[in-house]
Amino acid sequence: MVNQSIIISSLSSLLLFSLLLTTACAQLRQDFYKNTCPNVESLVTSAVTKKFQQTFVTAPATLRLFFHDCFVRGCDASVLLASGPSGTMEKDHPDDISLAGDGFDTVIKAKAALDADPNCKNKVSCADILALATRDVVALTGGPSYKVELGRRDGRISTIASVQRRLPHPDFGLDQLNSMFASNGLSQTDMIALSGAHSIGFSHCGKFSKRIYNFSPKTRIDPSLNPNYALQLRQMCPLKVDPRIAINMDPNTPQILDNVYYQNLQQGKGLFGSDQILHEDQRSKPTVDLFASSNSAFQQAFVTAITKLGRVGVLTGNQGEIRRDCAAVN
């Protein structure tokens, strides 16, 4: 009887979560700003393209910023809120400190472009700006073009505690990855497709040094790592390397968002353990092999996954606000 009550309670919670998610998603739509800021897409795209032309880092930084925002408190731009003297905001957490400044600057530049248009000034949420900017950097790096659902509101809360155990780590196994993504309504296929963003990513040496120097008492190098690639990584990341040094996550096409990332996994060239496990585990290997053989299959799955990501925990209507300054609540 007790077990039955627990099952009923769990089902009720799941149904409530699904209902809330469906309700929020129903309020998002592609033409949300049709009457209030009709030029929103072209204005954001222009600003993002200009920023991208100044530095390629714009692309991976913006894409990662969007992911980190959505996985913590939902896609509400809470990660953009500036930290104060107490250092207790989301961006102060160790998992967020490495977020590149160019991602934040991309949103600031796009917001300024919108505010320069009298029709759009303080009409578009920072959460929507980040979602649109993410779409733009995906296209600018050779990834798929897709429509963005809009109508998010900005959150008013950002805490360092809310980041804890909400973001994947480089040493995660498949079960840990699936569990974390499932808690955000994302499937294993979604997770594998979104991992393809590492195609244009970069990482500091400390995030993977254990794999090439101190994997286990029996073997210093992770056996799932391509031996030649491991030696290359050692050359780029010597033991006492400057902690600011970062290397490309895709050694072949680091500035193109494509399926070469998955071909690298087939060759044992996944930089993180959480990358390589996608090919090593038989449950996820078929999807990796599919994406490796077909860039169109990867792109289609990526669009599905990033659209679902953009719906996670969104605030709509009067649940949040439209910030006048993306780094501060109104």
* Residues known to be catalytic: 68
**DSSP annotation of 90:** G
d(CA 278, CA 200): 18
Bridge partners for 317 per DSSP: none
CA nearest to 47, candidates 57, 58, 36, 37: 58
C-beta neighbour count of 239 within 10 angstroms: 10
Total residues found in the chain within this entry: 330
Residue 14, Cβ density class (10 Å: 0-12 exposed, 13-18 middle, ≥19 buried)? exposed
CA nearest to 172, candidates 97, 280, 310, 288: 280
- End-to-end alpha carbon distance in the chain: 50
Beta carbons of 142 and 295 less than 8 angstroms apart:
no
**DSSP annotation of 95:** H
